[in-house]
Structure 1
Amino acid sequence: MAITKEFMKNSLKDKSVTWTEFLKNVKHSNSIHCFFEGEDAKYYLDRVEEYTSYSLSDITVYSCDGKRNLLKLHKKISSYEEYNALSKAFFIDKDYGLETIEVDDQVYITPYYSIENFYVNQNSFKRLIIKEFGINIFEDDFKKVTEDFASQYKEFLKIISPLNAFIYSFLKAEEEIIIDKFRLADFIDIKVDTVIKLKDTGFDSLKTYYKEKLERDITRRKQHAENNLNKFNAVIDKVENDFFNNLQKVLDNKETLTHGKIALFFLIKFIEDLKLVNKKSNYFSRKRQSVYIDIQSNNILSNLSQYAQTTDCLIFFLKKYQHVAKEEIMS
């Protein structure tokens, strides 16, 4: 669904909790007001503090419960001239880049699907290995594990790309897909030295898998189950017609078109197995002591934030707020 002018016009009537919260906080004129889709603040806050002139105590945080709510709020705040002087920053995920979004220079859009993608790359993994496993960059173990990470991630992306294309095709057909229905562990097994496909990821297999999950919801009398299946049946032919073209697009743009949660799944499983083989002393040249990284935590975005990539475009975006803060301090 495109973010149209009519959509934004109607959004101004919305009386959201975040809007009410903002109205209470506007008196803090020396703050930078930061708006996030959800828990993204766990990634962004340290970077806002580092690259702007604002201390953590002067950063006011808002969770908007999704991109569309954030964009509604951005449009609403921008419509009031009295708020123009406030320092405001809005952070949204690019997702698959299918929405038509008109934004100004107060909105940062990730260059990849979402911030989760910032966590899964070679440089981030190297920092994690050095700090969490105590492996020096000049050691053979460092070379071994970083090469295995790169190799297995490449194979993982190749195997899982059809699922990304399947999801992409639904959204391109302007139909929501319940991504949580896909249990990735059903399709792929990730170890430090190999990635094994457990289930076919071709279109027919994904179609059958997803449809069975929707039908199971009906038998379990889950809310909206019948409506979800009807929407699936209405759009699946269009999805199939576009699938193979979309798959090629995903294969050509794996970094930007891999769903963030899918990428993070790989990182979690890889480190999980790395901890296991280290504990059994059958991977590294010696057992690495004091490895306490909590990869299964619900707070993983905070736990691993220090290792996540900080893109040049994000740094450039945040540095724009340096002179603003200095002017406010001087006045």
Structure 2
Amino acid sequence: MTYLEQLRQARDKSQVTYQEFVLHTRQNKDGLFCFFEGTRGSDNAYYIPRIKVYTKDYYPLLCGGRDKVIEVYNLISLHSEYDKYKKAFFIDRDFNEPLKPEDGHIFETPCYAIENFYVSEHVFKEILKNFFGFSEISNEHKLYLDLYRQRQNEFHQAILLFNAWYACLIEIRNKEGKQTGVRLEEKPPKGFIQFSLESISKNYDINIIKSIFPNATEVTETDLEKKIQYLSQFDKHKVFRGKYEMYFLTAFLELLLKDSTTEKKYSQTKINFTFGDKLSNDQAVALFSAYAETPDILDDYLKSVTA
């Protein structure tokens, strides 16, 4: 077993990634060292094409969770000998408070996560044009865009309670140090959302949430209502959990494809495109990366770290 393989089996992922970075520097590599969340490289599909606009020499390093990226950043910052290397750190905001200005060397998404860059009306228009082949003057383009707006609004109303509840757990964790007691999947819990092209509705309440997640931190009714009101102020496709937003997009697209080949209720035109099996979150991030939004602050950040 090599030294690097031994490191990868270590428990502390931030230490592992830090040591990987150190090994790179010992080989006198010249380029941008990119530190990402995750362990599978799912964020790479979004960030790497945008990084390559500014540099062709880059080294992706996976840190684990958001906190691990910050830990790696802090570890490297302790050693002035690494100041000469170009480095970039990328994290999702999730339901956390924004980073402080002094943490400007880390890029934090202005929305919940990178998946939120994929679900705006603008991105959906790009998918209609480039994947489905419907120009903006076609009847299908207008029809499907109107459907998307309606169903997305309904989806947000249906998932608001669950987002607010989970946001309360994160706030309690950050303020009191209590673990959430919850591990979420890419999709909302089974049965929570009734999903069709005709309508989307909620099929759960707070008692059902508690029964599904019995180990979750207790959330008061007052705090939950405050969080609902707080989240309702913003563009929901930006502040709601990104993986659920991506779930909506992929599920909606799959229903459109199915309708175009079988029921033909909304259009007689068959969509000449197929995803094969159901799209996972990671696959959708890769497939639609070229059409996802790129915020100005990301461009500014990449310019600064590659200068």
**TM-score, L = length of structure 2:** 0.84
Partners of 2:210 and 2:83 in 1: how far apart? Answer: 48
In the TM superposition, 1:266-285 aligns within 5 A as 266-280=248-262, 281-285=264-268
Q: 2:293 corresponds to which residue?
A: 309
Give deviations 1:203-254, integer Å, cap 9, x for gaps.
Answer: 233223323xxxxxxxxxxxxxxxxx3xx3xx41x44341110111112222
In 2, distance between residues paired with 1:162 and 1:172? 15
TM-fit CA distance, 1:147: 1.3
* Residue number in structure 1 paired with 2:230: 249
Q: CA deviation at 1:103?
A: 4.8
Deviation at 1:283, TM superposition (A): 2.2
Which runs of 5 or more structure 2 residues have no equivalent in the other structure? 1-11, 174-178
Q: Answer yes or no: is 1:157 the counterpart of 2:156.
A: yes
Q: 1:178 aligns with which of 183, 194, 201?
A: 183
Q: Shift of residue 126 of structure 1?
A: 0.8
Percent of counterpart pairs with the same letter? Answer: 26
Which has the larger helix fraction?
1
Deviations 1:69-121 (A, max 9, x none): 11111011111111111110000001112476675332100011111111111
| Structure 2 residue 266 is the aligned partner of structure 1 residue 260 | no
- C-alpha distance in 1, partners of 2:249/2:237? 14
- The whole-number CA distance in structure 2 between the counterparts of 1:262 and 1:309 is 17
- Gap runs ≥5 in structure 1: 1-12, 212-228, 325-331
The answer as to whether partners of 1:164 and 1:257 remain within 8 angstroms in 2 is no
The residue aligned with 1:215 is none
Aligned mate of 1:203, from 203, 206, 221:
206
The correspondence for 1:300, drawn from 284, 290, 295, is 284
Aligned to 2:194: 189
**Contact 2:121–2:149 at 8 Å: present in 1 too?**
yes
User: For this pair of structures, how many residues does the alignment match?
Assistant: 282
Distance 2:28 2:113 in 1: 30
| Contact map agreement 1:119 1:307 (CA 8 A) in 2 | yes
- 2:51 corresponds in structure 1 to 48
CA distance in 2, matches of 1:183, 1:124: 22
- TM-score using structure 1 length: 0.79
Task: Report the AA paired with residue 320 of structure 1.
Answer: S
- Paired residue type of 1:264: M
Q: Secondary structure at the match of 1:16?
A: helix
Indicate yes or no: 2:153 matched with 1:168.
no
Q: Does the CA-based 8 Å contact 1:173-1:239 persist in structure 2?
A: no
| Aligned-partner residue type, residue 46 of structure 2 | Y
RMSD of the alignment, in Å?
A: 2.3
Asked which structure has the greater RCO (Cα within 8 Å, sep 6+), the reply is 1
Aligned 8 A contact 2:14 2:64 in 1:
no
Q: Residue 269 of structure 2 aligns to which amino acid in structure 1?
A: R
Query: Could you tell me how far apart the structure 1 residues matched to 2:103 and 2:143 are?
Result: 45
User: Structure 2 vs 1, CA of residues 101 and 304 (structure 1 numbering), >3 Å: closer, same or farther?
Assistant: same
Change (3 A) 1:142 1:59: same
Quickly say closer, same or farther: Cα 1:105–1:125, change in 2 above 3 A: same
* DSSP 3-state at the match of 2:124: helix
Residues 276-302 of structure 1: CA deviation (Å, up to 9, x unaligned):
01112332242232x023552452221
In the alignment, which residue of structure 2 is the partner of 1:61?
A: 60
Cα pair 2:188 2:244 within 8 Å, conserved: no
Bigger radius of gyration among the two: 1
Residues in 1 aligned to 2:222 and 2:287: alpha-carbon distance in whole angstroms: 41
Q: Equivalent residue of 1:85, what SS?
A: coil
> Does the CA contact (< 8 Å) of 2:99 and 2:108 recur in 1?
no
**CA–CA distance in 2 between the matches of 1:72 and 1:108?**
14
Match of 1:104 in 2: 103
- The amino acid across from 1:107 in the alignment is I
Structure 1 residues 151 and 45, CA gap change in structure 2 (3 angstroms): same
Is residue 240 of structure 1 aligned with residue 208 of structure 2? no
For 2:101 and 2:184, locate their aligned partners in 1 and report how far apart those are by CA, in whole Å: 26
CA distance in structure 2 between the aligned counterparts of 1:210 and 1:181, rounded to whole angstroms: 16
CA apart distance, 1:181: 10
